[in-house]
Amino acid sequence: MHTIHDVAVVGAGPAGLSAAFELTRAGFTPLVLEQTSAVGDVWRHHYDGLRLNSGRYYSALAGSKFPLSAGSWPTRDAVVDLLESMPARGGFAVQTGVEIEKISYDSQQDSWQITSTDNQQFASRAVIIAVGANRIPVIPEWEGKNTFTGKIIHSSQFRNAQDYAGKHVLIVGSGNSSAEIASRLTEYAASVTMSIRTPPQILPKSIYGIPLIGIGVWTSRLPRAWVDTLLALLRRTMIGDLSAYGLPSPTLPMSKQYAINNVVPILYYPFVEDVRAGRIKIIGTIQKIANQDVEVLSTVSAIQNTGGTTTILQPDVIVAGTGFRTGFSELIQVPGIINERGKPVVTSDQEFPQAPRMYFIGQVNPLSGQLNEIRQEAGKIARKLRTQLSHN
C-alpha cells in the first residue's frame, strides 16, 4: 500500500506555496504537487512589464515579504524570485511536472486519492486545492470564428507588445489584463480596438500613494453599500466620465457587478489616458466573423449590449481577454462541491459535508487583494488542519 500523507497541496503558485509554508510551520510535511516544470513558471510566462496592482506591502505571502529593492509595485520577475525562494525558506519540497487528473475521496480509508495524468497515485488525509481559478483559458465560439484569416490568441498567451508592431489588434474583454495589454499595444500597433460587453469598473491604482488595495483592507468590515458609495465617489473624482469616448459608466455598484462576473476593477491608469486620447477605440461585442471581416456592435450600451448598429473591422490579431474556467467539475470527483459556474461552494477553511478535510485557497479576489487574502487563508487552513489531524 502506498504512503498516506497527512496533507497534499495541489498547485505550487502563490496559494499553494503559502499553504505549504504555513503547513510546515504547523509541523506537517506537506506533499506539494505542481503541474509546471519549475516553481514560478506560471508567473514567469506572464507578459512583459507586468507589475502587481496590490503594491509591495499588501502582496506579501506567508512568511515571505518582497524586499525594498522590489519597489512600490513589484514586477513579474520579482514575483517569480519570491516564489522560487519559498520552498527553501519554508523547509518543504515541491514535486514539479505532476499534472493532476482526478481527486476523489475514499470513505473506507478516510483519505483522498489523487491521480495524475501519467497515472501516478497519491493519497492523503487532507487535500488543499491551490490550482487557482485561472486554470483553463476560454475563447468564445464566435459565429464564423474558424474562418478568421488572422490570428486569435488568449490574453494568457500575450507576451510582448513589440511582437505586434504595425498590426491592427482587436482586444476582447474589459479586465485588468485586457486594459493593460491594450495600453501597451498603443506604442507599437497600427491600431488598437477594444470590444467590451459590460462597461467596466475603473478605479485609481493608488490614492495619494496608498494602494487601493489598502483602502480595500481598511473598509473590508464596513457595510457593502458604504464601500460602493466610496468607490463610486473615487471613480467620479479621480477617473471621470468616459461616456464621450465610448465607455459609459457601469449601471451597477461594484459589489453587485463583481458578484455577477467576478471581474475586478481596472486599475491601470494609462488605459484611461489612452481612451481619452483616442489611442484605444471602444466598440461593442463581436457579432460574427467572416474571413478577415469581424462584425461588431458600434457602441457599448450601459444597460445591455444587444441590438444597435454594427460596423466591420479587419484586425490582424484578436486577443481574447475572455477569462478562464476552473475545470474543477472534471478534476474533483465530489458531487455538489462545484457550482454551475465552476466555482467551489466553500473557500478558505470552510468544509463541504461530503468532502472532509478538503480546502480551497486562492479562489477569492476581493478589493483587499488576492495575495493578501491568500496569506490569510493559508494560516486559517493550517491551523484548522493542525487540530483535525492531531495524532491520538
Task: From residue 293, give the alpha-carbon distance in Å to each of 40, 192, 196, 304, 360.
Answer: 39, 16, 18, 24, 43
- pLDDT of the residue at 381: 98
Taking the CA of residue 112 as centre, how many other CA atoms within 13 Å lie in the half-sphere pointing to its CB? 27
Cβ atoms of 102 and 11 within 8 Å: the answer is no
- pLDDT of the residue at 392: 38
- pLDDT of the residue at 227: 86
Average pLDDT, the chain: 91
- For residues 147-168, give the mean pLDDT: 96
SS3 207: strand
| Residue at grid coordinates 467539475 | 329
Using the predicted structure, report yes or no on whether residue 291 has a pLDDT greater than 80. yes
Q: Which domains does the chain have, with CATH numbers?
A: 4-135+326-388 (3.50.50.60), 138-320 (3.50.50.60)
Summarised one tens digit per residue, pLDDT across range 172-226 is 999 899 999 999 999 999 999 999 988 898 988 888 778 888 888 888 788 888 8
Q: Identity (one letter) of the amino acid at 60?
A: A
Cβ atoms of 167 and 195 within 8 Å: the answer is no
Using the predicted structure, report yes or no on whether residue 89 has a pLDDT greater than 60. yes
Map 117-178 to HEC letters.
CCCCEEEEEEEEECCCCCCEECCCCCCCHHHCCCEEEEHHHCCCHHHHCCCEEEEECCCHHH
Summarised one tens digit per residue, pLDDT across range 92-133 is 999 999 999 999 999 999 999 999 999 999 999 999 999 987
- pLDDT of the residue at 391: 54
The C-alpha cell of 369 is what? 487583494
- pLDDT of the residue at 242: 93
For residue 297, the tally of other CB atoms under 10 A from its CB is: 21
Task: From residue 21, give the alpha-carbon distance in Å to each of 54, 88, 221.
Answer: 21, 10, 27
SS3 247: coil
The dihedral formed by the CA atoms of 11, 12, 13 and 16, expressed in degrees to the nearest 10 = 80
- pLDDT of the residue at 165: 97
Lowest-confidence pick of 101-105, 113-117, 349-353, 364-368:
364-368
Give the helix ranges, DSSP H, for the chain. 14-25, 41-44, 76-90, 176-185, 212-218, 224-234, 254-261, 269-276, 328-331, 370-388
Strand 210-211 with 206-207, pairing: antiparallel
- For residues 271-296, give the mean pLDDT: 96
Exposure b/e, 126-154, CB count within 10 A at least 16 = b: bbbbbbbbbbebeeeebebeeebebebeb
Closest CA to 34 of 20, 53, 24: 20
The helix or strand, by DSSP H or E, that contains position 33, with its residue range, turns out to be: strand 31-33
Summarised one tens digit per residue, pLDDT across range 11-52 is 999 999 999 999 999 999 999 999 999 999 999 999 888 998
Lowest-confidence pick of 208-222, 296-310, 329-343:
296-310
- pLDDT of the residue at 1: 45
pLDDT band at 263 (very low <50, low <70, confident <90, very high): confident
pLDDT band at 306 (very low <50, low <70, confident <90, very high): low
Task: From residue 314, give the alpha-carbon distance in Å to each of 20, 141, 180, 260, 289.
Answer: 48, 18, 22, 32, 10
Using the predicted structure, report yes or no on whether residue 326 has a pLDDT greater than 50. yes
More confident residue, 203 or 356: 356
For residue 348, the tally of other CB atoms under 10 A from its CB is: 19
The C-alpha cell of 189 is what? 500597433
The C-alpha cell of 210 is what? 496608498
Cβ atoms of 216 and 201 within 8 Å: the answer is no
Taking the CA of residue 199 as centre, how many other CA atoms within 13 Å lie in the half-sphere pointing to its CB? 20
